[in-house]
Amino acid sequence: MMEIFDNAAYVVKRINDIWEKKPGKKALHKMIFLIQQKGVDLGYNYGIHFYGPYSAALDTATMSLGADGIIEFDYTGHSHLMGINERDFVVLPDALSEEQRETVDQLIRHFSHESPSDLELLTTAMYAYDHLEDKSRESVIAGVQKIKGAKYSVEQIQCALENFDYFSKPFYQ
């Protein structure tokens, strides 16, 4: 078996192991965004996209890993589900400390019951927060509404904002 040191593949593997299921493309993008928000730099820059924060570099990386046979895509449903080809490859983190690996695992566990849509809302709110000068709750809600339109209710947005403490993102008046 060949050892592969790649953080995107490593996160796919950890999600597979912890959630006991394969993440879709949207869930992976959101989880890596959240991991980076928690302070573990995996090297992916994000911009805003129709489904919330999106990294073209991450998309390219997963497609390349798929072309190399490391990530296996399942296209049978509505999502592009990702698993690791563990017959031929051992996927390992690339230059992540033990503490960073534990942070990755804790975050994956913490959000294991969230839907891709819930992750989309949370990451969109965090993206808005990071790009707003006014860090008030009301401003972030308005920012999410500006980005997402009527897709999420104010109540849903407020519920997502409850996760900001986990990421040490304070609101100001």
Residue 15 has a pLDDT of 98
Which pLDDT tens digit goes with each residue over 13-23?
A: 999 999 999 99
Q: Phi and psi of 82, rounded to 5°?
A: -120, 130
Domain final residue pick, 59, 82, 112: 112
What are the start-end ranges of the H helices in the chain?
A: 7-19, 25-37, 56-67, 98-110, 116-131, 137-148, 154-161
Model's pTM, two decimal places?
0.95
Q: What is the DSSP string of 42-89?
A: -S---EEETTEEE-HHHHHHHHHHHHTTSEEEE-SSSS-EEEE-TTTE
- Is residue 24 located within the same domain as residue 95? yes
- Is residue 42 located within the same domain as residue 13? yes
- Is residue 169 located within the same domain as residue 97? no
